[in-house]
Amino acid sequence: MQERLLHYIWQQKLFMAFPQYTTNGLPLQVIDPGQYNSDSGPDFFNAKIQIADTYWAGNIEIHNRASDWYLHGHHNDKAYDNVILHVVAHSDVDIRRTDGTLIPQCQLRFPEPIIQRYRNWCNNGEHIPCRDTIKHVPQLFLHNWLEVLAIQRLDDKIGDIRRCLTQCRGGDDEAFYIMLARAFGFHTNSLPFELTAKSLPLQYIERHRGQPRQVEALLFGQAALLNTNDQYGKLLTGEYNFLRHKFSLTPIDHKLWKRLRMRPTGFPELRLAQFAELLLTRQRILSQVIDNPELEALRQLFTVTAPEYWNNHYSLGKIADKSFPKTLGEQSVDNIIINVAAPFIYYCAVKRDDATLAARALTLLTRLPAENNSVIRLWQQAGIKADNALDSQALLQLYNKYCRNRDCLRCRLARPMLKNK
């Protein structure tokens, strides 16, 4: 039996259906299991128990086997002298303090199915370990946990923003520009898009805003995507060679780009052209996001159409069979709002201590449709449906931070599922 499961059973008091006794036969009542200690020392601080007619307050140490007390050297460590109860799954020896006094011990009794369910989660090989039992969780309980998870995910994204600020040594606009570029990579090419933006400071783009061809040349050149011989590509290459020397720029490695099994509408050149158009036609984008964080306004802000050249191209120098305007699709726009706009709204709210703005970020996510990706489809197969983007973000957090790591005991859904008869 894993010791961490025994910790969990003790902390959550999942043993309450059984009367408890010390190993010498005295009745034991747990009033307060204490506060979990993640540092060195006993496992739980400030617990309150009653053994027979005597009340005790102090620390609790938990082991799988009682002999682990000696294996870990606690009998020689004064930090464990204030332990009032030793809780074990198997009592194979009495244990003592440094002065030789005996410590009360309890071989904890609890429902056997708890172990069976937890072992199944650890070993069943499912992407979602509790797939077959999660349907028993009350909807209100699930809803409350998803709200917490959504905030956790936004907090994690605030951490991403702050790390980006540290790395780029710029302001909020610079970090927004980099993370917006990453979003235009739409997972498959998020890294090369991010590296392209990091290699090309926003100030260089702002400086050439009135010259669209130069902005496109800077982006395509830094992305190492100018390997073409058509007239448009040659024009961009000429502009880039001049600007590269002027700003002492170094392009990224072109081998980073991925195209395998990709639809033409997702080709990196087309996405980069749309990104360039957004930077050229929208000024102070972050300010617009924060000043008017309404869904329709944001959709209008991020819906862009690539320049006319791209009507019959998906990549530089290769003419497509059909010609039509290449406008960023609604699902792609919503993806950008979910992964960039909403986190930055929430980041600015936390930065300003503005509860109203924070609430608007959450409201924005509830108004957006749920994402459709492999993880969300796994949840659907388990019977959990995301009603909106706030739900889908929460489910992504649950999967990435808990399910994928088999960290079930940190998930709030574990208690009702383990306790369920």
Q: What's the confidence (pLDDT) of residue 405?
A: 94
The phi-psi region of residue 368 (left if phi > 0; otherwise alpha if psi is between -120 and 50; otherwise beta) is beta
- The chain-wide mean pLDDT, for the chain, equals 95
Pairing of strands 105-107, 44-51: unpaired
Report the distance separating Cα 118 and Cα 131, nearest Å: 13
Residue of 4 and 170 predicted with greater confidence? 4
Looking at the chain, how many residues does it have?
421
The pTM assigned to this predicted structure is 0.90
Q: What's the confidence (pLDDT) of residue 2?
A: 84
Q: What's the confidence (pLDDT) of residue 170?
A: 85
Q: What's the confidence (pLDDT) of residue 1?
A: 65
SS (H, E, C) the chain: CCHHHHHHHHHCCCCCCCCEECCCCCEEEEEECCEECCCCCCCEEEEEEEECCEEEEEEEEEEEECCHHHHCCHHHCHHHCCEEEEEEEECCCCCECCCCCECCEEECCCCHHHHHHHHHHHHCCCCCCCCCCHHHCCHHHHHHHHHHHHHHHHHHHHHHHHHHHHHHCCCHHHHHHHHHHHHHCCCCCHHHHHHHHHHCCHHHHHHCCCCHHHHHHHHHHHCCCCCCCCHHHHHHHHHHHHHHHHHCCCCCCHHHCCCCCCCHHHCHHHHHHHHHHHHHHCCCHHHHHHHCCCHHHHHHHHCCECCHHHHHEEECCEECCCCCCCECCHHHHHHHHHHHHHHHHHHHHHHHCCHHHHHHHHHHHHHCCCCCCHHHHHHHHCCCCCCCHHHHHHHHHHHHHHHCCCCHHHCCCHHHHHHCC
Q: What's the confidence (pLDDT) of residue 355?
A: 97
Which is nearest to 417 in space by CA: 146, 31, 111? 111
Which is nearest to 184 in space by CA: 174, 195, 173? 195
Task: With beta carbons less than 8 A apart as the criterion, state whether 42 and 59 touch.
Answer: yes
Statement: residue 421 has pLDDT above 70:
no
Is the Cα dihedral 319, 322, 323, 326 positive or negative? negative
Task: With beta carbons less than 8 A apart as the criterion, state whether 19 and 27 touch.
Answer: yes
* Average confidence (pLDDT) over 178-190: 96
* Average confidence (pLDDT) over 77-101: 97
Q: What's the confidence (pLDDT) of residue 191?
A: 98
Burial (CB count within 10 angstroms: exposed 0-12, middle 13-18, buried 19+), residue 401 = middle
**% of the chain at pLDDT higher than 70:** 99
Q: What's the confidence (pLDDT) of residue 260?
A: 86
Report the distance separating Cα 112 and Cα 382, nearest Å: 25
Model pLDDT for residues 263-301, shown as the tens digit of each residue: 999 999 999 999 999 999 999 999 999 999 999 999 999
Q: What's the confidence (pLDDT) of residue 135?
A: 87
Residue type present at position 116: Q
* Average confidence (pLDDT) over 376-402: 97
Model pLDDT for residues 194-238, shown as the tens digit of each residue: 999 999 999 999 999 999 999 999 999 999 999 888 899 999 999
Which is nearest to 106 in space by CA: 45, 2, 36, 33? 33
Which is nearest to 367 in space by CA: 384, 342, 392, 390? 390
Q: What's the confidence (pLDDT) of residue 116?
A: 92
Model pLDDT for residues 137-167, shown as the tens digit of each residue: 999 999 999 999 999 999 999 999 999 999 9
Statement: residue 420 has pLDDT above 90:
no
Question: Token match 């682990």: residue?
Answer: 68
Report the distance separating Cα 382 and Cα 132, nearest Å: 7
Pairing of strands 27-32, 44-51: antiparallel
